[in-house]
């Protein structure tokens, strides 16, 4: 059994929140750069240039990439041979989020309950935490500050097996088309297919963590991803919703077995501020990825 202290978890989450909010991952920057070079529409080219300049400036000046610093998603891959000492894992994660947002003067966007008071909690907590138990004695933490513009345009639909791949295609296209400029394109489109309703939604969110340029390991799914990228970019929504060939940078599909009577599909849209940061902790040593 390897021990990891709650304090190490807290400090790591704090560091990852700040990093994610200020620095776009390399794969996202490269995809935006490639899109700018390939765009023939001058206005779309300009908008992609502005998005890239904004990202570079944010990293250089250590300021947020976007004013919406999001609700904080924390994905934990917890090795089964790890013991967390001196505290509860979820408290440590929440404390890390609170420290990052309060100390960093980041916009706090979380309200206490969704229906009645809607009172700002003041420190961007609670985060949404997803935990998977994995083999080994490491813990991997990924922080994703998720803005609401793209989240509000996301959707889940319970298709039936008879709808098949054609039904999935229609649903994905419908969600992206309806989002227009509201999701701040160019997008990354996360698609979760299978399980039941909740699992499909989780898979769609998790799909957004994949590096741009990666493909689903199943060649049939990978081919479907490529086909959807072409179809979505054919919609002409373009960067900022002002037209052009780059409505999405990638489509990532994740699948899971499902019931004989079901075909749940979730589409989670991610705007161009595709922020995420990860670290691996083993014993008390942490490596930022």
Residues that bind ligand SF4 (CB under 6 A): 66, 68, 147, 149-150, 184, 271, 273
- Residue 49 or 167 having the CB closest to ligand SF4: 49
User: Strand 2-5 vs strand 82-85: parallel, antiparallel, or unpaired?
Assistant: parallel
- Number of residue whose CB is nearest ligand SF4: 147
- Residue 68 or 254 having the CB closest to ligand SF4: 68
Query: Least distance from C-beta 160 to ligand SF4, angstroms?
Result: 32
- Residue 159 or 273 having the CB closest to ligand SF4: 273
Query: Least distance from C-beta 36 to ligand SF4, angstroms?
Result: 17
Query: Least distance from C-beta 239 to ligand SF4, angstroms?
Result: 11
Residues contacting 238, CB < 8 A, separation 6+: 41, 44, 47, 185, 186, 244, 245, 246, 247
Query: Least distance from C-beta 273 to ligand SF4, angstroms?
Result: 4
- Residue 149 or 167 having the CB closest to ligand SF4: 149
- Residue 23 or 168 having the CB closest to ligand SF4: 23
- Residue 6 or 271 having the CB closest to ligand SF4: 271
Query: Least distance from C-beta 27 to ligand SF4, angstroms?
Result: 17
Query: Least distance from C-beta 192 to ligand SF4, angstroms?
Result: 20
Query: How far apart are the C-alpha atoms of 159 and 27, rounded to whole Å?
Result: 33
- Residue 66 or 159 having the CB closest to ligand SF4: 66
* Torsional sign, CA 263, 133, 74, 280: negative
Secondary structure string (H, E, C) spanning the chain: CEEEEHHHHHHHHHHHHHHHHHCCCHHHHHHHHHHHHHCCCHHHHHHHHHHHHHHHHHHHHCCCCCCCCCEEEEEEEEECCEEEECCCHHHHHHHHHHHHHHHCCCCCCCECCCCCCCCECCCCCCCEEEEEEECCCCEEEEEEEECHHHHCCCEEEEECHHHHHHHHHHHHHHHHHHHCCCCCCCEEEEEEEEECHHHHHHHHHHHCCCCECECCCCHHHHHHHHHHHHHHHCCCCCHHHCCCCCCEEEEEEEEEEECCCCEEEEEEEECCCCCCEEEEEECCEEEEC
Query: Least distance from C-beta 147 to ligand SF4, angstroms?
Result: 2
Query: Least distance from C-beta 20 to ligand SF4, angstroms?
Result: 12
- Residue 179 or 233 having the CB closest to ligand SF4: 179
């Amino acid at each position: 059994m390897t021990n990891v202290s709650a304090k190490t978890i807290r400090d790591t989450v704090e560091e990852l929140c700040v990093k994610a909010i200020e620095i776009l991952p390399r794969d996202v920057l490269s995809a935006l750069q490639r899109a700018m070079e390939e765009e023939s529409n001058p206005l779309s080219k300009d908008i992609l240039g502005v998005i890239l300049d904004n990202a570079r400036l944010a990293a250089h000046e250590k300021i947020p990439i976007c004013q919406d610093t999001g609700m904080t998603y924390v994905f934990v891959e917890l090795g089964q041979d790890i013991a967390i000492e001196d505290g509860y894992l979820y408290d440590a994660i929440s404390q890390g989020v609170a420290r990052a947002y309060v100390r960093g003067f980041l916009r706090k966007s979380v309200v206490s309950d969704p229906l009645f008071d809607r009172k700002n909690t003041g420190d961007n907590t609670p985060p949404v935490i997803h935990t998977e138990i994995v083999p080994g004695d490491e813990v991997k933490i990924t922080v994703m500050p998720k803005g609401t513009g793209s989240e509000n345009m996301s959707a889940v639909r319970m298709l039936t097996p008879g709808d098949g791949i054609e039904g999935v295609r229609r649903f994905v296209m419908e969600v992206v088309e309806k989002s227009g400029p509201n999701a701040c394109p160019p997008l990354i489109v996360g698609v979760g297919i299978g399980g039941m309703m909740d699992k499909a939604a989780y898979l769609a969110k998790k799909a957004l963590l994949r590096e741009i340029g990666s493909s689903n390991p199943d060649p049939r799914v990978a081919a479907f991803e490529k086909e959807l990228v072409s179809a979505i970019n054919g919609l002409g929504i373009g960067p900022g919703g002002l037209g052009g060939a780059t409505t999405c940078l990638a489509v990532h599909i994740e699948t899971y077995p499902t019931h004989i009577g079901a075909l749940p599909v979730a589409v989670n849209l991610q705007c161009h501020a595709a922020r995420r940061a990860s670290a691996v902790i083993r014993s008390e040593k942490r490596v930022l990825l």
